Structure 1
C-alpha cells in the first residue's frame, strides 16, 4: 500500500528529519576522515527517493525505505572500492564477510550516533565557531545561508570557515569514539550552543515559507533529553537550556494561525499554551539552580518562564533579566528584545528613544520593533518602518504578517 502524501512535500521533510541521523550512522563505518562519502551516500539516497517516488508513488513506510536504500548503497560502495579491501576488511573478524551486516540503522544506534557525531565534530582542531558551524551543516542539515543567519555573518565568510574546518578534520587523526570525562566536559559548551542554534532556527525561522519549523525544535529537544539523562552531561547549563526549550515550545501552537501567519505575543490565545511543557520547564529550571553558576541559558530560561505567567511583576522581571543577559553576552537580537520589554514597563515613547540608539539598520526586527512602537502615536511613521522591515526580511511568512499590520493601520488612517 502506498502513502497518499505527495513526494514533493515528503522528501524535503524527511531530508530535514533523517539526513543528519543517516550521515551520523554512516560516519561510524567510514570514519570522520571520509565524512564526504557518508554525505554523498545520504544525498544519493534522497535523490533516488525523489526520482523513484515521483514515478512509483511514496511507499507505505518511506523512512524505512530510505534507510534500506542507504544501507544497500553503503554495502555496494564497500564492495567496489579499495576502502573496503584495505581499511574495513582487516578489522572484520574471520568469516564475517557479509558487508550488508556492517551497517545497522536501529533506533538506539541512530540516537547514539548523532549525539556522538556532534561531540566528535566539536573537536579542538577547529575554533568554537567553526565547530558549531560544521555541526550545524553536517548534523543538522543547515544550508550555508542558514548558518550565516545564525551567526549574523556573511555567506562567503561562513563558506570559507566551513571549508577550513573540514580540511582541519581531514588532517586530524580522530574518529567517533568513547570520549573521556574531560573531553566530554570540555566540548559540552559547544554542543549546547549547537543545539541552542538548532532550536532557535526552528522557533524563529529566518527564511522560507514557515515561521516555525517544528521538526527542528523537536530534534533539538530530543538530543537535549539524551544529555539530561546522561550523568556526564546532566549539568546545570544542560538543564537550563532544556528548561528554555520547554518554555518556548509550550507557546508554539499559539504563535501562528491556521494560515501559518504570525500571531503577536499580545494577541496569542493563552488557552493554546501547553501547560505540561511549562511544568516540565519549571522542573528543569529547578534542577538548573544549584547556586554555583548562572549562564545565559539560565537567564533566557527565566525570561521564557516569565512570558508564560501572568503573576507578579512580569515585565519588570523580564526587563531585569534582559539587563543581566546583555551584560553577560551582548547581541543585537537580545538588545531588541530587551527594548520590547522596556516598552512594557516604561511605555512606547521612552522605548522609541531606546530603540533608535541601537541603530541596527540591517535587521528586519529593528524596523518591525519601531513600527510596533510608533503604531499608537504616529501611524504613518509606523507604516514606513513596517515597509522597511519587509525589505529586510527573507521570511515570506513574516512579510505576510507585516503586510497585514500595514493594512490594519491604513484602514484606521483612511
Structure 2
C-alpha cells in the first residue's frame, strides 16, 4: 500500500483507538486533549514517513508516538518532576507505567468510550452523531449521509453535544448496569450506522468500504463478549452484520460496479460468516424482545437461503412488521422491492409511487428498475433523475450502464 493510501487507512482504523486508550488509560480531563494528541500523531507520521519512509510496523510507531506525546503534555503542564507525579497520581496512573495498546485494552477503552459518549444528557441522535465522529472517525458529510440530513444540521448537533459533555464533566468511568442499559440503544445505532456506511457508501466514490464493515463487526463482537451488553438486540445486530458481510465479495464486479442480488455469484459468499450469523440469530431469540435488528437480521437470513416459492413472501411480511416498528425511507424502499418480487413490477410501481421520495436517489433508481419491464422510456427517465442527484461516481457509472442497456434494448424493438 502506498504512503498516500496507508495514512488515511491507518487514520480510519487507529485514530479512534488512540483517542479511547489515551483518554481511558491516562484519565485525561478533556476529550479534546486526546483528540489533539491523536491528530498530532498522524501529522507527525505524514512528516516523518515522507522523509524517512514508512516504518516496519507503522501501527506500533503511531502508538509509541501517541504515548510520548501524552507524557509530553503532562510534563508541559507540570513544571517539576514532583508536580508531574502529583498530576499523575490525581489522574490515577503511574508515570513509569507503560500503557499497552493491547487488543484487550483497546476493546475495553473503546467500549467505555462509546458508552460514555452516548450520554442521555444529549438527545439520542446527537449521542450517535458524536459517537460516529469520535469513535468511528466519520466526517460531518458521512454523518449527514447516515442520517439523511444536511451538513449544517449535523454541525449544530455536534457542537451542542460537545458543549453538553464538557459542561457535564464528561469522563470515562465505570458505568452502572442501569446506565449501560439506558445507553445501549444509542450504542447499537452507532454500530449499525457505521456498518451501513461501509455496506452502501455514499462517500469516497466507493460503493463498499469493507474496512468500515469490519470495524462494525469488531465492535459488535466486543458488545456480545461483555456480560452487561450481551443482550438479544446486540446478538441480532451482529447476526445482521454477519449475514450482510457474507455477500460483500459478490456485490460488486472487478470495476466496482454493483451486482444485483439475483445476479450474484453465490460461490463468492462467505459460508463461515453465514454460520456465525445463524449462531448470533439463534442467541438473539432467547427472550421475548423483538427489535428492528431482529427483523432485519431475519430478512438477511432469508437472503442467504436457497430460493423457494415462499421466500419473498416471508421477506415481505418481515418488512411489513419492520415498517411498523421504525419507519424509514430505506425500509420503505426495500419493502417496495420485496413487494415487486411477490406481486410483480406493475403493482409495486403503484405501491412505490405512494412514497413520493422524489429527492431520494435510491427511490428514483428503484422506480427505474421497476419500470424497466413496463415502460423503458420512463425507466430511463428515472435513472437519469437518480444520476442528477447522486454524488457517487460509482453509482453514476452503474446507472449510466443500465441506461445504455435499456437504450439498446429499446432500439432493437
Range class of TM-score, shorter chain: over 0.9
1:249 corresponds in structure 2 to 245
| Cα distance in structure 2, aligned partners of 1:285 and 1:382 | 38
Q: Secondary structure of the equivalent of 1:76?
A: helix
| Structure 2 SS opposite 1:358 | coil
Q: 1:97 to 1:372 in 2, by over 3 A?
A: closer
Q: TM-score, normalised by structure 2?
A: 0.94
Q: Does 1:283 align with 2:279?
A: yes
Change (3 A) 1:89 1:41: same
Indicate yes or no: 2:118 matched with 1:117: no
Paired positions, count: 409
- Measured in 2, the distance between the counterparts of 1:364 and 1:98 equals 54
Contact preservation (8 Å) 1:364, 1:390: yes
Give the C-alpha shift of residue 290 in structure 1: 2.4
Aligned to 1:263: 259
Matched ranges for 1:50-69 at <5 A: 50-69=46-65
Quick check: 1:299 aligned with 2:316?
no
Counterparts of 1:31 and 1:405, CA distance in 2? 55
Say if 1:240 and 1:288, in contact at 8 Å, map to a contact too. Answer: yes
Matched, 1:46 2:42: yes
Q: Give the TM-score normalised by the residue count of structure 1.
A: 0.94
1:380, CA displacement in angstroms? 1.9
RMSD, matched Cα = 2.1
Deviations 1:215-265 (CA, angstroms, capped at 9, x unpaired): 111111111111111221111111111110111011001001112221111
Unaligned runs of 5+ in 2: none
Shift of 1:281: 0.8
Cα distance in 2 between the residues matched to 1:236 and 1:335:
25
Distance between the aligned counterparts of 2:135 and 2:285, measured in 1? 30
Task: Tell me the CA shift for residue 93 of structure 1.
Answer: 5.5
Aligned ranges 1:1-400 → 2 under 5 Å? 5-29=1-25, 31=27, 33-82=29-78, 89-90=85-86, 92=88, 99=95, 101=97, 103-312=99-308, 313-400=310-397
Paired residues of 1:71 and 1:100 also in contact (CA < 8 A) = no
Give the conservation status (yes or no) of the 8 Å contact 1:33–1:169: no
Shift of residue 147, structure 1, vs aligned partner: 0.8
In 1, Cα distance between equivalents of 2:230 and 2:372 = 45
Aligned to 1:208, the other structure's residue is in SS state coil
Segments of 5+ residues of structure 1 without an aligned counterpart are none
* 1:30–1:144 CA distance, 2 compared to 1 (3 A): farther
Residues in 2 aligned to 1:228 and 1:45: alpha-carbon distance in whole angstroms: 31
Work out whether residues 251 and 260 of structure 2, in 8 Å CA contact, stay in contact via their aligned partners in 1: yes
Query: Is 2:133–2:140's contact at 8 Å kept on the other side of the alignment?
Result: yes
Moved over 6 A (4+): 83-88
C-alpha separation between the residues in 2 aligned to 1:86 and 1:31? 19
